[in-house]
Structure 1
Amino acid sequence: MASGSEEGLGFGNGDGDVDVDVDVDPSIAMTTDVELLKRAWRNEKAAPEILQFESSLVQRSKEQIQLMEETVEEYEGNGTDPLTVSLYQMDLDRTQFLLRSYLRIRLLKIEKFATHISKTDSWNRLSEQEQKFTKRCMDDMEKHLTQSVLSRLPYGYQSILKQSISSEEDDMVPEPQLDTFVFCKSKSSLGAIQLDESGEEFEDLVADDLYVLRYKSVKPLIENGQIDIV
């Protein structure tokens, strides 16, 4: 990840989004950690389910933030031109925003779908710290609901997972809606992609074209990095 003068600045657009407003060769910009972090943040923000935790990217971003903080502090102490300091500070602020927002979005999804995540392969997408957080969320929620509601209900209706003892499935567990439509863009021409289980609906995905598709139909392509959600 380059410094502020090399990589350009990000500015808020009023709704919390962050944009890169300088002309940079895409083949170079897309390889920087800031762009990779922005991509991970956008995908996580738009996906209805929790995605794979970007552990290496998060660690590199934390190290880069620490380095940038030390650089800003050093420049402020030795009387470096204020404009140069402000450029570094803006780059630092942008990276901190992206990282914090990325982690916060994941925590919100965990709070909403904790039980579902713990019972599916989504569990393996979490970091070790997120798994610990998920367990605490489930324990706290079960304790609260048992004390405030479930213990006062008749026998057969005291489960946190099922509406009643006769339910065959865990019908009280919130699940992400994978049929949600998402805006997505293919990084390369992928040809005809099957969009339904019956094999009757196809879409020809062309590089850099914008599509509105069901998340479930392009989920594998998002997971392997062939498509980005925008």
Structure 2
Amino acid sequence: MESGNGSVDRWEDATTATGSGTGLHDWTEGSFDVGSSDVEILKRVWRNEKAAPDILPYEAHLIERVHEQILLMEDNTAEISKTVDDLMLSIYQMDISRTTFLLKAYLRTRLGKIEKFVMHIIRTPELWERLSEQEQGYAQRYVDALSKHMKNCVLDKLETAYCSMVKQAESSEGDDMILEPDLDTYVFCRSKGAVGSFQLDERGYESVDLMLDDLYILRYRPVQGLLAADRIELV
């Protein structure tokens, strides 16, 4: 581009700074090219997180890229405003707002699951490792605050047999006060490739042919491995 469009050049640098195939919408003079960008990936990751009953692994690299891109885009807004008309500037700002919303929605969804299943997550090493460092810190602070509140307001006022945070009573066989996600709930999922015949139970009584782009309603437990392998997506 000509030197007079230097701010637009910087916008292009911002959206491609993390490498090919990852930026937000590619900015050109008057157009947006929507491809398989980080925004589209984030949208799919958010849908998966919303639909899955348990908490999924934190997408650290994706979130870091999107956050860096948002910061670069915001830094360039003032200079971009000097080279484009009000309509294009509005579209430009809407793109930033939309991406920021998706990022916050993804993080809020995860925090909701952490608060709901916090005791189960903390006691399950596999789930604990799915959290980011910041989420782990939040989960621990949340449990500490909840335990203190329950002790001061409820548990200290009950008989000793009922003073546990994890059991209804000393006679309980297991930790029946810890809420766990229902992995046998049904989810809508779409196959991202031709998986072929897939077993839905250990006894071999149930199976399904998973074909590319077909939509299915299946129990989450047997297909969670396919989700982890990125062979299906939840909708």
TM range (shorter): 0.7 to 0.9
Secondary structure of the residue aligned to 1:125 is coil
1:7 to 33, 38, 50: 33
Question: How many aligned residue pairs are there?
Answer: 208
Deviations 1:45-71 (A, max 9, x none): 111111000000000000110111122
Equivalent residues in 2 for 1:1-230, closer than 5 Å: 1=23, 2-3=25-26, 5-8=31-34, 29-30=35-36, 32-76=37-81, 78=82, 80-120=84-124, 121-230=126-235
State the Cα distance separating 1:7 from its structure 2 match: 3.2
* Residue identity opposite 1:108 in structure 2: G
Deviations 1:91-133 (A, max 9, x none): 1111111100000000011011100000111100000000000
State the Cα distance separating 1:222 from its structure 2 match: 0.5
* Residue identity opposite 1:3 in structure 2: D
Q: Report if aligned partners of 1:187, 1:228 keep a CA contact under 8 Å in 2.
A: yes
Q: Report if aligned partners of 1:192, 1:204 keep a CA contact under 8 Å in 2.
A: yes
Which deviates more from structure 2 when the two are superposed, residues 63-72 or residues 205-214?
Answer: 63-72
Deviations 1:152-186 (A, max 9, x none): 11111100001111223111001111111111001
> Compared with structure 1, are the counterparts of its residues 115 and 157 closer, same or farther at alpha carbon in structure 2 (3 Å cutoff)?
same
* Residue identity opposite 1:6 in structure 2: F
Q: Report if aligned partners of 1:3, 1:88 keep a CA contact under 8 Å in 2.
A: no
**Counterparts of 1:107 and 1:128 in 2: how far apart (Å)?**
13
Q: TM-score, normalised by structure 1?
A: 0.87
Tell me how large the CA RMSD over aligned residues is.
1.2
Secondary structure of the residue aligned to 2:167 is coil
Secondary structure of the residue aligned to 1:184 is strand
**Counterparts of 1:150 and 1:135 in 2: how far apart (Å)?**
20
* Residue identity opposite 2:114 in structure 1: I
Unaligned stretches of 5+ residues in structure 1: 9-28
State the Cα distance separating 1:212 from its structure 2 match: 0.5
State the Cα distance separating 1:79 from its structure 2 match: 5.0
* Residue identity opposite 1:94 in structure 2: R
Q: Report if aligned partners of 1:193, 1:205 keep a CA contact under 8 Å in 2.
A: yes
**Counterparts of 2:172 and 2:33 in 1: how far apart (Å)?**
56
Which deviates more from structure 2 when the two are superposed, residues 184-193 or residues 83-92?
Answer: 83-92
**Counterparts of 2:197 and 2:141 in 1: how far apart (Å)?**
44
- Greater Rg over alpha carbons, structure: 2
Structure 1 segments, 4+ long, off by >4 Å, are none
**Counterparts of 2:79 and 2:171 in 1: how far apart (Å)?**
66
Q: TM-score, normalised by structure 2?
A: 0.85
**Counterparts of 2:88 and 2:62 in 1: how far apart (Å)?**
26
Q: Report if aligned partners of 1:111, 1:137 keep a CA contact under 8 Å in 2.
A: yes
Q: Report if aligned partners of 1:3, 1:91 keep a CA contact under 8 Å in 2.
A: no
